[in-house]
Amino acid sequence: MNMTHYMSLLADNQPWNLIIFMAIPVICAETLTITEFFIIFNRVKNGGIRSLNKYVGIFDGIYFTGIFIYLLFNAVIPLTTTGGWHTWVDVTAVGFYLSGVVFLLPIALMELGIIFKHKTFEEKMKIHFILVGGFLVVAHIAMIFGMVNPKIVNNMSSMPGM
């Protein structure tokens, strides 16, 4: 069966690639989401939930940045230079997956006090929530496109009337 490089990455080297590239970043993002709701609804500024949210945000942002750098140099650049992509669906799946760094890295930087230093607590909560939500959106788009058989899309483009 033909599959996107996204799904191929997750299917290879079982279970390690699935754990490294999917389970860890997504479980961390889900932990951020759940703790985010507690923080927002209860206006939590300190305590265990806030600490968990902070440290998971720092870890996930740095961890996913490492994934981004690794896959950029070991997958994206080689596939692009050799023309190895399996249709636009493949590029979309990998592109949306890697775009997660745009959302997770700022969370880590904000939690480390590197960016948004002069924002109020409420402004930081809003930014944090938007970034977590953004990551979940791009991760799910990547999963959806990653599961598409690229051969179907390629064959569809040659069908008359489509």
Tokens at 119, concatenated: 């924002």
Inform me whether the pLDDT recorded for 130 exceeds 90: yes
Is it the case that residue 159 has pLDDT exceeding 70? no
pLDDT tens figures, 72-111: 999 999 999 999 998 899 999 999 999 999 999 999 999 9
Please tell me the predicted confidence (pLDDT) of residue 160. 46
pLDDT digits (tens, 9 = 90+) for 71-80: 999 999 999 9
CA distance 80 to 41: 45
Q: In the prediction, which pLDDT does 162 show? A: 38
Cα atoms in the Cβ-side hemisphere of radius 13 Å centred on 125: 16
59 contact partners, CB below 8 Å, separation of at least 6: 28, 108
List C-alpha distances in Å: 12 to 39, 66, 74: 38, 19, 15
Helix axes 101-111, 48-71, angle to 10 degrees: 140
Amino acid at 18: L
Q: Where are the domains of the chain?
A: 5-156
Let me know the angle formed at the C-alpha of 19 by 13 and 20, rounded to the nearest 5 degrees: 85
Whole-prediction pTM: 0.90
In this structure, the dihedral spanned by the alpha carbons of residues 66, 71, 74 and 76, taken in order and rounded to 10 degrees, is -140
Render pLDDT for 29-71 as a digit per residue (tens, 0 to 9).
999 999 999 999 998 989 999 999 999 999 999 999 999 999 9
pLDDT band at 150 (very low <50, low <70, confident <90, very high): confident
Residue entry with tokens 């939690």: 111
Residues sharing a CB contact under 8 Å with residue 134, sequence separation 6 or more, in sequence order: 102, 103
| pLDDT at position 43 | 87
pLDDT band (50, 70, 90) for residue 19: very high
